[in-house]
Amino acid sequence: MRVLIEPRPRDDLGLVLLLDLALKELFTRYPASTSHPVDPATSFLVADHKGDAVGCIGLLPVVAGVGEIKRMYVRPDQRGQGIARWLLGSAEALARHRGASSLRLATGSRQPEAIRLYESLNYRPAPAYGKYVHEPTALCYAKSLN
């Protein structure tokens, strides 16, 4: 499968659809959740297959050498083809380019496939940070980019 990974603006129709699908899946997996706002400073990469947006990943600005992954999502009909790995690799390269020496992310205990993916790519459990400190289902991970 050939996939082009490229930056897209927040108002890109394919990205908007992917973020909406990601939010619906989050509310399905975590029905007690009330909101999942996207930080306006998040920049996005989109995986495109034959003109169709099939996955996305967000990256917050690098602060003190630390970047943060947000909103990684691959459409269910496109999963299992390596798209998430390509998105993560591209986000890691972009974070390095922006001066990050490490990346962090948060996922949830009801997303075992995401946990397996992150751990297979050398993301290691890390202390909870920010809003995740008081979120019982949150699992935080970090990876050195050095």
What is the spatial distance between Cα 53 and Cα 4, in angstroms, rounded to a whole number?
9
Q: Please report, for the chain, how many H helices and E strands are present, in that order.
A: 3, 7
Domain residue spans in the chain?
4-144
Per-residue model confidence as pLDDT tens digits over 74-95 = 999 999 999 999 999 999 999 9
**pLDDT of 34 over the 80 cut:** no
pTM: 0.94
Amino acid at 126: A
Would you state the CATH architecture of domain 4-144? 3-Layer(aba) Sandwich (3.40)
Per-residue model confidence as pLDDT tens digits over 35-60 = 778 899 999 999 999 999 999 999 99
Contacts 24+ apart (CB under 8 A), 11-17: 12/44, 12/46, 12/53, 14/46, 14/48, 14/52, 14/53, 15/44, 15/46, 15/53, 15/56, 17/53
